[in-house]
Amino acid sequence: MMDYLINTHHHGDHTAGNPIFKDFAKHIVAHQNVPKLQKISAEGRGQEAVDAQVYADLTYNDKWSEDVGDETVHLMHFGPAHTGGDSVVYFEKANVAHMGDLMFNRAYPFIDINGGANITNWIQVLRKTVEELESDTIYIYGHGNSEFGVTGNKDDLMLKSEFLEALLEYTQKGITEGKSKEEIAKAEVIPGFEVFKAPGWGLTLSRNIEAAYTELTSSDDR
């Protein structure tokens, strides 16, 4: 019997194992927004998907920690980013942090606007993580460019934050120039970030630009 199963956020590739592991874990832990986002997502796929869900029974708001054996595990939520319920999972004694899908290492990320994503705050989440943790922390990523792998250091997080910042700046420039979303999304690369790749499952730069456009124009409407 394990003590805790952690859901880093609500997406199916991070929660679909809950029904399998629920009988082997004392608690499923996640940020407090994860169960409701998980349910909303399942409702969009029909009643069968809703019935299949198993939700976290232990949730937190900003921070959570627990001693597990010889290790101390911390969960930290710094606001909306990839979704509205992302957790950074930090193993204190090992000095290792699992970033979930807050990190697509040198790959165009999934920006789940419908699931509460916020690119502006995502930039700050990555920088806040670097500030909070040790300078030599080892990071594990949810996804990545196959040439660069799914582990690394703080420099990877800073590069990702710079990409997101450049994405917003590029998109805002197009909006200011009066271009349509479709015109802006024709870009093949954000200058300076040629190393970023589409991972191969439809997460293209154009989708990132469309998400940035939605965020920026929605802000204009408020």
> Which residue's entry shows tokens 């790749």?
197
State pTM to two decimals. Answer: 0.94
- Its CATH class, for the domain covering 63-221, is alpha beta
Residue 222 has pLDDT above 50, yes or no: no
Q: Model confidence over 145-170: pLDDT tens digits?
A: 999 999 999 999 999 999 999 999 99
pLDDT band at 2 (very low <50, low <70, confident <90, very high): confident
Q: Model confidence over 32-62: pLDDT tens digits?
A: 999 999 999 999 999 999 999 999 999 999 9
pLDDT of 103: 98
pLDDT of 42: 94
Left (φ > 0), alpha (ψ -120 to 50) or beta: where does 67 sit?
A: beta
Report the amino acid identity of residue 221. D
Q: Is the alpha carbon torsion for 38, 42, 47, 51 positive or negative?
A: negative
- Three-class SS string for the chain? CEEEEECCCCCHHHHCCHHHHCCCEEEEEEECCHHHHHHHHHHCCCHHHHHCCCCCCEEECCEEEEEECCEEEEEECCCCCCCCCCCEEEECCCCEEECHHHCEECECCCCCHHHCCCHHHHHHHHHHHHHHCCCCCEEECCEECCCCCCEECHHHHHHHHHHHHHHHHHHHHHHHCCCCHHHHCCCCCCCCCCCCECCCCCCCHHHHHHHHHHHHHHHHHC
pLDDT of 219: 57
What is the distance between the alpha carbons of residues 9 and 30, in angstroms, rounded to a whole number?
Answer: 7
Q: Which part of the chain is CATH 3.60.15.10?
A: 63-221
Q: State mean pLDDT over 74-100.
A: 98
